[in-house]
Amino acid sequence: MKKVKNIFHKIANADPIIWGYVMLSDERRK
């Protein structure tokens, strides 16, 4: 779990657009 969170933070810091896409994908899964 820690590794996943680390990757998430890296993505968020790297590109807000990618972060937004990840959040959108997460909402679609639910």
The DSSP element (H or E) to which 2 belongs, if any, is helix 2-14
- The structure's pTM equals 0.36
Residue 12 to residues 1, 3, 20, 22, Cα–Cα distance (Å): 17, 14, 8, 9
Confidence class for position 7, pLDDT limits 50, 70, 90? confident
Residue 10: is its pLDDT beyond 80?
A: no
pLDDT tens digits for range 15-29: 778 778 888 888 887
Give the rounded distance of the alpha carbon of 3 from its chain centre: 12
